[in-house]
A and B are shown apart, each in its own frame.
Chain A
Amino acid sequence: MLRDESKFAQGKIAFLQYLSVGIFLFIVGGYWNLQIRNEEIYSLKAERNRIKALPIPAPRGKILDRDKRVIVDNHSSFSVLLSLETLKEEHLRPIAEGLDLDYDEVIALLKSRRSRPRYLPITLKKELTPAEIAFVESHRDPDTYPELELIHTERRVYPSNGFAAHLIGYIGEVSEAELNQADFAKYQQGDLVGKTGIERQYNDLLTGQDGQRQVLVDNKGNERRVLGLKRAVPGQSIELTLDLDVQTVMELAMDGRRGGAVALDPRNGEVLAMVSRPGFDLTKLSSRERSKEWKEIFSNPEKPLLNRAIQAQLAPGSTFKPIVALAALEGGEITNDTSFSCGGGLNFFGRYFHCHNKKGHGATSLKRALAQSCDVYFYNVGNKIGIDQIAKYAEIAGFGARTGIDLPAEAEGTLPSSKWKIRALREKWYGGDTVSVSIGQGYLTATPIQLAHAIGGMVIGGIWHTPHLLRGDAPAKPARKVDLDLEHVRLVTDGMCEVVNGAGTAYGSRIPGIEMCGKTGTAQTASNEYQKAKNIRLKDNAWFVAFAPRVNPEIAVAVLFEEGEHGPMAGTIARDIVKAYFDKKTRKEVSQTQPSTVTASLPAAPAGAAN
């Protein structure tokens, strides 16, 4: 039995031995696969496990006025982040409830962030209230909602009540469409970018570089050590050419009206103020009630988002007359002595053209024609010089093209010419068209900034500086210089001076002590025939273009007061703006002289006090 026994077991023991060898080889193979072949994959996964990257948002640059006064600032607030790596589906509902968010919106938000790398947390809510901060603080522990993270952010503070809203513009999350554009290539879903106005135009300057904090965390999400810190680089603050004093007056003067106004320095193109009405409140757009505010904006038929100062393309009416006058003078078709008789209207090409003064102005010289805005005089001039002569000088003055101001989406307006009509309408130019254009009607449209730019450039002797808002660097588009006969410019200027300071249409806009010159415009929004046919009476737009002083002008203003009916209505607005400019200048001169006398009268400080 005994010998047999060991023999009987021999084969079975060997079987177990072979099985052992096989099993050990299998295990070693498995470890080889993990530790040698795929070491890098698992090392990377281990790193992902323990290294958490938290963004440090960079504050956006401030926006300052020309005196370095703050227009747009930032303020501290807290945002809550959601880490996708530790996110648990079932936590979303209680988190949404705790933060007073709509659950479906949270889901939608998560969906919209799919293409972001998973290790980057997403911002769940900004501008947390103290109660929400408390909620996050008390729930972000490992056992409740470890996916929550609280970070400090800088939020935009805008002036309230829509102050300079169009000009500043708003910021928002970069859209899918924008992400496909070259300018936004460096952004990711959820990043804030400027959408309109200065915020859009100088987005690259204003945007800082977000920093990042890399921390070593354990399985509970507790930070063990800071591995790396990349500080945030704040965005650059930019200084605008805007003057808050002038802007404030313009805002007040335009309040309750519809239209746009712009004031600029014709000597260098610096925009001093710009307003559009109706407006919108940037404060509300960045507040918690933003969706309500957006709804209101979009449902408003008056299109509050439109920056009328650069985007309203309307017939400039009589404010165009100085350009026609210059064209005629430069062409030699009229001189200072040329005079036309106005009988309240005149027939051209079989059609009767009214003068706004039905009684007629009688024999009218250029100066009187400008001062009283005699239409018949300009019908005759236009008819005499032809559309292409008008178009030539209007083009020199910048009509029919963007002025090149550093704001997005500037409108071009329309400068008609015989060629333009064939090209755009496939129709021959008629003499009657010229008659309309010579008083700033017909096919002609212009924006307020074009008008201020055109007149401003003309009255400083034929140099059109590109309007711009960013102070410092010269604008991208260089100034245009055209040799004008300064005598002709003086004649037109004198006429415009008479408008305000003589027997003109805007005598109500006179400012004692300042020779403000200007030109009223009362522009029809549709032709008389059209209005008659439709049996409606559309209100006229009131325009005013002004500059001051008469000699060496420093400021040019254009005001569009939609449905203001009479040019002089816009004139008073322009007057307030010009007055504000000179009031401030006087104040500055006084304050600049005074401190020196004060300093001089101070007793010399003791030497030790300097420390």
Chain B
Amino acid sequence: MLSFRTLRDVDWTLLILTLILCGIGVLQIYSATQSTSEADRWWKQVIYIFVGLFVFYLVSQIDYHTLVGQAPLMYVVFAGILVFLLILSRVVLGAKRWISLGAGFKLQPSEFMKLILILFVARYISELKTDSMSLRDLLKLCGLVLVPFILVGLQPDLGTALCYLPILGVGVLLAGLTRQQAMAIMIILLLIVPTGWFALKDYQKARITSFMDPASDPQGSGYQVMQSKIAVGSGGMWGLGVTRGMQIQLRFLPFAHTDFIFAAFAEEHGFVGVVAVLGLYFLLLMQILQNAQTAPDRAGTAICMGVGALMLFHVLENAGMVAGLMPVAGIPLPLMSYGGSSILSFFLMLGLVNNVRLRRFLQ
């Protein structure tokens, strides 16, 4: 169990694409943080990647059916942690989104909730007997995703919470909808969006209004978008070169090694670099969906499609936000943004995809 079935069966395309993206990320983190107090970030990221690889290996070893089987338990445990964190943040001042593991390492349970949801949805899909589900089933599925969505949204971490929605989308897509159900969902969404607006925090609203018109508040929340767009735009066709990005080096670009790493990359490597990296993401995505096709069962397909949809959502939201195409939400760029939780959670997901691939001929 602790060794690969055959080394040849590992999804090398997936792994190599992943590592190339991670490598580009490390370079960009180095470039963005050099000669600052965060200059150690690039090798910390390297460590996270190695840990990620180990996790990738571990996850590949355990049969995904076992994991799918344990999904309800994990779901309950992590939902419990989220509730606990929520209560804690109400009692103790200053909301925390993570659990400290000591030695400066922190665990962000909401990140791992993504993975658990993917597994749970896969389990749910595989247990469906028909091609289209009843309204009861649909509501059950929605409730499954909405519980952690609300818990994380209340933290408040709307960005991570939003990541749960594409998983729900994949679930609904795979479960199959009747035309009436599709209509009903559209109507409900149309009703929820305006009321949801009032539930948003002021800074969250400001993010959305500043997305519409970044110049309206150049010093506030629009500032990040404006500086990010300036960084991207001034990169031009070929970019300014590694460590030459003025917006980065003079610190005008906020979070240049985390959420806005793609703006930093775009400034230093230009449109050519952007297209190249987006191309890599696209290939990675296609490889994941390829695995969805070759998956032996519904659960495997659902896992791959869940991971793929989540990845797509992350790239869309992050690369879009950085270019002012999407509102600001604290969503990292998969594999490139600095951060242990994000790296680990993506390696876990990709490990799952690999897991499905390893077992594609099992049945």
One digit per residue, 1 when the CB lies within 8 angstroms of any chain A CB and 0 when it does not, for chain B 192-209 equals 000000000000000000
Kindly identify which residue among A24, A43, A217, A219 contacts B234, using a CB–CB cutoff of 8 Å: A43
Asked whether A13 lies within 8 Å of B232 as measured between CB atoms, the reply is no
Q: Does B235 contact A (CB under 8 A)?
A: yes
Q: Does A218 contact B (CB under 8 A)?
A: yes
Using known A-B contacts A38-B233, A43-B234, determine if residue A49 contacts B270 with beta carbons closer than 8 Å.
no
Q: Nearest-CB distance from B143 to chain A (Å)?
A: 22
* Interface stretch of the complex, out of A15-23, A129-137, A163-171, A592-600: A15-23
Using known A-B contacts A15-B173, A27-B315, determine if residue A35 contacts B250 with beta carbons closer than 8 Å.
no
Asked whether A42 lies within 8 Å of B232 as measured between CB atoms, the reply is yes
- CA of A227 to CA of B312, assembled, Å: 43
Smallest Cβ-Cβ distance to A6: which chain B residue: B293
Asked whether A46 lies within 8 Å of B315 as measured between CB atoms, the reply is no
Asked whether A39 lies within 8 Å of B301 as measured between CB atoms, the reply is no
Using known A-B contacts A26-B325, A43-B234, determine if residue A217 contacts B250 with beta carbons closer than 8 Å.
yes
| Residues from chain A with Cβ under 8 Å of B305 in the complex | 9, 12-13, 16
| Residues from chain A with Cβ under 8 Å of B251 in the complex | 218-220
Using known A-B contacts A13-B305, A36-B271, determine if residue A50 contacts B252 with beta carbons closer than 8 Å.
yes
Asked whether A218 lies within 8 Å of B250 as measured between CB atoms, the reply is yes
Q: Does A30 contact B (CB under 8 A)?
A: yes
Asked whether A13 lies within 8 Å of B250 as measured between CB atoms, the reply is no
Kindly identify which residue among B231, B282, B293 contacts A46, using a CB–CB cutoff of 8 Å: B231
| Residues from chain A with Cβ under 8 Å of B173 in the complex | 12, 15-16
- CA of A216 to CA of B249, assembled, Å: 11
Asked whether B229 lies within 8 Å of A9 as measured between CB atoms, the reply is no
Q: Does A10 contact B (CB under 8 A)?
A: yes
| Residues from chain B with Cβ under 8 Å of A474 in the complex | none
Asked whether A35 lies within 8 Å of B293 as measured between CB atoms, the reply is no
Q: Does A41 contact B (CB under 8 A)?
A: yes
Q: Does B344 contact A (CB under 8 A)?
A: no
Smallest Cβ-Cβ distance to A49: which chain B residue: B252
Instruction: Give A228-272 interface residues, CB cut-off 8 Å to B.
Output: none
Q: Nearest-CB distance from B300 to chain A (Å)?
A: 9
| Residues from chain B with Cβ under 8 Å of A17 in the complex | 286, 289
- CA of A388 to CA of B293, assembled, Å: 118
Q: Does B242 contact A (CB under 8 A)?
A: no
| Residues from chain A with Cβ under 8 Å of B252 in the complex | 46, 49-50, 218-219
| Residues from chain A with Cβ under 8 Å of B323 in the complex | 27, 30-31, 34
Asked whether B232 lies within 8 Å of A34 as measured between CB atoms, the reply is yes
Q: Does A5 contact B (CB under 8 A)?
A: yes
Asked whether A16 lies within 8 Å of B234 as measured between CB atoms, the reply is no
Q: Does A28 contact B (CB under 8 A)?
A: yes
Q: Does B141 contact A (CB under 8 A)?
A: no
Chain B interface residue count: which class?
Answer: 35 or more
Asked whether A28 lies within 8 Å of B316 as measured between CB atoms, the reply is no
Asked whether A45 lies within 8 Å of B230 as measured between CB atoms, the reply is yes
One digit per residue, 1 when the CB lies within 8 angstroms of any chain B CB and 0 when it does not, for chain A 545-566 equals 0000000000000000000000
- CA of A6 to CA of B291, assembled, Å: 12
Using known A-B contacts A9-B293, A13-B289, A26-B325, determine if residue A45 contacts B309 with beta carbons closer than 8 Å.
no
Kindly identify which residue among B236, B275, B301 contacts A43, using a CB–CB cutoff of 8 Å: B236
Q: Does B6 contact A (CB under 8 A)?
A: no
Q: Does B297 contact A (CB under 8 A)?
A: yes
Q: Nearest-CB distance from A217 to chain B (Å)?
A: 7
Kindly identify which residue among B131, B246, B271, B278 contacts A24, using a CB–CB cutoff of 8 Å: B278
Q: Does B247 contact A (CB under 8 A)?
A: yes
- CA of A15 to CA of B309, assembled, Å: 11
Q: Does B69 contact A (CB under 8 A)?
A: no
Q: Does B122 contact A (CB under 8 A)?
A: no
Asked whether A46 lies within 8 Å of B289 as measured between CB atoms, the reply is no
Smallest Cβ-Cβ distance to A33: which chain B residue: B323
Using known A-B contacts A23-B316, A216-B250, determine if residue A41 contacts B289 with beta carbons closer than 8 Å.
no
Asked whether B233 lies within 8 Å of A34 as measured between CB atoms, the reply is yes
Q: Does B237 contact A (CB under 8 A)?
A: yes
| Residues from chain A with Cβ under 8 Å of B296 in the complex | 2
Asked whether A27 lies within 8 Å of B319 as measured between CB atoms, the reply is yes
Name the residue in A8, A88, A217 with the highest tally of chain B Cβ atoms < 10 Å from its Cβ: A8
Kindly identify which residue among B246, B270, B281, B293 contacts A13, using a CB–CB cutoff of 8 Å: B293
| Residues from chain B with Cβ under 8 Å of A292 in the complex | none
Asked whether A27 lies within 8 Å of B293 as measured between CB atoms, the reply is no
| Residues from chain A with Cβ under 8 Å of B325 in the complex | 26-27, 30
Q: Nearest-CB distance from A435 to chain B (Å)?
A: 80
| Residues from chain A with Cβ under 8 Å of B219 in the complex | 88
| Residues from chain B with Cβ under 8 Å of A35 in the complex | 232-233, 235-237, 266, 270-271, 274
Q: Does A32 contact B (CB under 8 A)?
A: yes
Q: Does B285 contact A (CB under 8 A)?
A: yes
| Residues from chain A with Cβ under 8 Å of B74 in the complex | none
Chain A interface residue count: which class?
Answer: 35 or more
| Residues from chain A with Cβ under 8 Å of B227 in the complex | 49
- CA of A88 to CA of B131, assembled, Å: 60
Kindly identify which residue among B170, B232, B270, B285 contacts A20, using a CB–CB cutoff of 8 Å: B285
| Residues from chain B with Cβ under 8 Å of A216 in the complex | 250
Q: Does B80 contact A (CB under 8 A)?
A: no
| Residues from chain A with Cβ under 8 Å of B266 in the complex | 31, 34-35
- CA of A49 to CA of B227, assembled, Å: 9
Q: Does B336 contact A (CB under 8 A)?
A: no
Name the residue in B174, B233, B309 with the highest tally of chain A Cβ atoms < 10 Å from its Cβ: B233
Smallest Cβ-Cβ distance to B176: which chain A residue: A8
- CA of A170 to CA of B186, assembled, Å: 75
Q: Does A224 contact B (CB under 8 A)?
A: yes
- CA of A297 to CA of B253, assembled, Å: 55
Asked whether B174 lies within 8 Å of A31 as measured between CB atoms, the reply is no
Asked whether B285 lies within 8 Å of A45 as measured between CB atoms, the reply is no
Q: Does B363 contact A (CB under 8 A)?
A: yes
Q: Does B320 contact A (CB under 8 A)?
A: yes
Q: Nearest-CB distance from B155 to chain A (Å)?
A: 27
| Residues from chain B with Cβ under 8 Å of A28 in the complex | 274-275, 278
Q: Does B148 contact A (CB under 8 A)?
A: no
One digit per residue, 1 when the CB lies within 8 angstroms of any chain A CB and 0 when it does not, for chain B 249-260 equals 011100000000
Asked whether B131 lies within 8 Å of A8 as measured between CB atoms, the reply is yes
Asked whether A39 lies within 8 Å of B312 as measured between CB atoms, the reply is no
Q: Does B308 contact A (CB under 8 A)?
A: yes
Q: Does B168 contact A (CB under 8 A)?
A: no
- CA of A42 to CA of B323, assembled, Å: 12
| Residues from chain B with Cβ under 8 Å of A224 in the complex | 250
Asked whether A41 lies within 8 Å of B320 as measured between CB atoms, the reply is no
Smallest Cβ-Cβ distance to A38: which chain B residue: B233
| Residues from chain B with Cβ under 8 Å of A39 in the complex | 233-237
Q: Does B82 contact A (CB under 8 A)?
A: no
Q: Nearest-CB distance from A42 to chain B (Å)?
A: 2
Q: Does B68 contact A (CB under 8 A)?
A: no
Smallest Cβ-Cβ distance to A9: which chain B residue: B301
Q: Does B41 contact A (CB under 8 A)?
A: no
- CA of A32 to CA of B320, assembled, Å: 12
One digit per residue, 1 when the CB lies within 8 angstroms of any chain A CB and 0 when it does not, for chain B 299-339 equals 00100010011001001100110011100000000000000
The 7 closest A-B pairs by CB, nearest first: A42-B233, A46-B234, A218-B250, A35-B271, A39-B236, A219-B251, A34-B233
Q: Which residues of B contact A (CB under 8 A)?
A: 131, 170, 173-174, 176, 219, 227, 229-237, 246-247, 250-252, 266, 270-271, 274-275, 278, 281-282, 285-286, 289, 292-293, 295-298, 301, 305, 308-309, 312, 315-316, 319-320, 323-325, 363
Q: What are 14 sample pairs from A and B whose C-beta atoms fall under 8 A apart?
A: A5-B298, A12-B174, A16-B170, A16-B289, A20-B282, A24-B315, A26-B316, A27-B278, A28-B275, A30-B320, A36-B236, A45-B234, A49-B227, A50-B250
Sample of 7 further A-B pairs with CB below 8 A, known A5-B297, A16-B308, A26-B316: A9-B305, A12-B305, A17-B286, A27-B319, A31-B274, A46-B234, A46-B246
